[in-house]
Amino acid sequence: MESDWLYIGLFLVVGLIIPIVPLILSRLVAPHKPNPIKQSTYECGLETVGESWVQFKAQYYIFALVFLVFDVETVFLFPWALALGQLPLFVVLEGVLFIGILVAGLVYAWRKGMLEWA
């Protein structure tokens, strides 16, 4: 058990370090001749127009919101799915009720037109 997590920890560290190696290699080998035009942001080959910080649609945020709630709820379902085998039928119905409440939220958002790209 503990050694499992030790392995994961080592994996995370090594997995983060190894992708850096080609970057360092590239830094050593590649030419480096910066100039202002090269280093300006790229925009279809034209000069950059206006602020690079654009206000984007609030709809992205609505989807992220719905996602957050669903993400937490599906995470709750994992212990339920694991315990399913050892438990009586009405516990399964408990999970079904849980999913039903989840779907009610989805239906609400749908009916309110929140899932449209308005």
Partner 1 sequence: MTASQIVFLLSAALIIGSALMVVTTRKLVHAALWLVAALFGVAILYGLLEAGFLAVVQVVVYIGAIAILFIFAVMLTRKEMRDTGPQTRRSWPLAALLGLLVLAGLVFLVLDMPDVARTAVEIPAEVDTVGALGQALVSPEAYALPFEVASVLLLAALIGAVYIASGQKKE
Partner 2 sequence: MNIPLSWYLILAASLFCIGLYGVLSRRNAIAILLGVELMLNAVNINLVAFWRYLDPAQMGGQVFAIIVFAVAAAEVAVGLALIISVYRSRKSVVADDIDLMKW
Partner 3 sequence: MNLWNDPINFIAGWLRALLTGWGLSLDLAKIFIMLVGVGVLIVGSLVLAIFLVWVERKVVARFQDRVGPNRIGPYGLIQPFADIIKLIIKEDITPTTADKVIYNLAPVLALASVLFLWAVLPLASNIYGVDLNVAALYLVAAGALGTLAIIMGGWASNNKYALLGAFRMVATMISYEIPMVVVLLIPTLLAGTMSFRGIVESQAGAWYVLMAPLAMLIFLISAVAELGRAPFDLNEAESEIIAGFHIEYTGMKFGLFYAGELLHAFTFGGFVALLFFGGYQFFGLEKLGPLVAVTIFLAKAMFGYWVIMWIKYTMPRIRIDHLLAFNWKFLTPLALILLVVTALLHKLLAGLPLWGITLIMFLTNVLIAWVTVEILRAYGRKQRQAEEVLAPAGQH
Contacts to partner 2 by CB under 8 A: 2, 58, 61, 65, 68-69, 71-72, 75-76
Q: Is 25 in the site for partner 1 (CB under 8 A)?
A: no
Query: Which phi and psi angles does 52 have, rounded to 5°?
Result: -85, 0
User: Measured in whole angstroms, how far is the alpha carbon of residue 6 from the centre of its chain?
Assistant: 25
Cα dist. 74→44, 54, 63, 80, 99 in Å? 41, 33, 16, 10, 9
Of 17-25, 29-37, 42-50, 108-116, which part binds partner 1 (CB under 8 A)?
Answer: 108-116
- Which listed option, partner 1, partner 2, partner 3, none, makes contact with residue 98 (CB within 5 to 8 Å by class)? partner 1
